Amino acid sequence: MFHTLLSPVDGSPFSENALPFALNIAARADAKLHVGLVHVPATFGETAAAHWADFDAETRQDEEKYLGELRRRLAKVPRANVEIHHLEGIVPETLAEEVVERRVDLVVINAHGWGYMSRSVVGSVSDYLMRHLQVPLLVVHASQHDPELSRPIAFRRVLLPLDGSPLAERIVGPARELGGLWEAQYRLLRVVAPPRKFLSAWSDDSARRPPGVLDKLVQESTIYLEGLAQRLRGESLTVETQVVIGQSPAQAILDEARAADCDVIAIATRGRSGLPRLLQGSVADKVIRGAHTPVLVCNAS
């Protein structure tokens, strides 16, 4: 169960787009929501000159004013059990420490935002958290300038892309926890990527489809998904399965999410970083960056 949530903000309206999602989840789960803004001191900035001290003090005051206004707005949201924290440090590392200290079960963050108050941060906060946390992360892709905090949110159709590995299946538990709050339907997806020379023939419904290897891959994938689906159905869950053929697994996942009208994509990442990630790429990365729906991701490494 989700008992404690964390939703970071940076002082920009765009970062607040995650809050309606976090508030709805917390209300459904009867959980505590922590909202945190990390102040980056001048000593962590590009320049530590004395004249930055005044700027640092002004920034703190602006942040406090922003948090005070946010606190007043959140107080108007029904069933909101929220604590607001003004933190200090390097943004990604400080948020990761907050997750451990407060025993957070789920982080809800917007992919857009992280603007003027966090401009000293290099790279993506959500990317760092996704690769360093052992708890799931819900990445929201909303871009409203003034989000309605009390807006109702529902996750009724959950897409679960799986590749047949135990690592990929680690997302099943968090997906069940999230979808269970709305008695959601689950759609298990396996993308089979054939050799390029077979792809055009396979997409044709005629008898030109190449026999043998591809048929066996599809059959094995179907058996795998149905086996997992049966176990989940035994827990009174509504589960569908789908095997698709596609050269790009990430694009096939995004297409399926759109076609099936899913509310959230749940996917595991192996948490690669640096050169291995650059060379091999990541299906989860591409899905997170290309999705129009929220993406629930967990580090399965």
- pLDDT digit string, tens, across residues 221-237: 999 999 999 999 999 99
- 296 bridge partner residues: 138, 266
Read off the pLDDT of each residue in 260-269 and give the average, rounded to a whole number: 96
**Which of the pair, 301 or 44, is modelled with greater confidence?**
301
Q: What is the mean pLDDT of the chain?
A: 86
Q: What is the pLDDT of residues 72-82, one digit of tens each?
A: 999 999 999 99
Topology of the domain covering 157-299: Rossmann fold (3.40.50)
Higher pLDDT, 61 or 116: 61
Question: What's the pTM?
Answer: 0.87
Determine the pLDDT at residue 194: 72
The two tokens of residue 52 are 């930055």
C-alpha span between 107 and 295 (Å, rounded): 12
Question: Per-residue confidence at 246, pLDDT binned at 50, 70, 90?
Answer: confident
pLDDT band for position 16 (50/70/90)?
very high
Domain 4-140 has CATH 3.40.50.620: yes
Q: Rounded distance, CA 270 to CA 272, Å?
A: 6
pLDDT digits (tens, 9 = 90+) for 85-122: 999 999 999 999 999 999 999 999 998 654 444 433 33
- Alpha-carbon distance of 288 to 186, in angstroms, equals 19
Decide if pLDDT at 270 tops 80.
no
Number of H helices, E strands in the chain: 10, 10
Rg of the chain on CA atoms, in Å: 21
Residue 236 CA: distances (Å) to CA of 187, 233, 240: 14, 5, 13
**109: β partners:** 139
Residue 170: C-alpha distances to residues 7, 177, 277 (Å):
22, 12, 20
C-alpha span between 4 and 63 (Å, rounded): 24
Residues 160, 184: contact at Cβ < 8 Å? no
- Asked if residue 250 has pLDDT above 70, the reply is yes
- Predicted confidence at residue 281, as pLDDT, reads 47
Q: Tokens for 141?
A: 């892709």
- Would you say 19 and 147 are in contact if contact means Cβ atoms under 8 Å apart? yes
Residue type, 213: V
Q: What token pair was written down for 214?
A: 């591809």
Residues of the chain with CATH 3.40.50.620: 4-140, 157-299
pLDDT of residue 271: 56
Lowest mean pLDDT, pick from 190-199, 204-213, 263-272, 284-293: 204-213
Q: Return the pLDDT at 278.
A: 38
Q: What is the mean pLDDT of residues 245-260?
A: 94
Please state, in angstroms and as integers, the Cα–Cα distance from residue 227 to each residue in 209, 222, 232, following that order.
Answer: 26, 8, 9
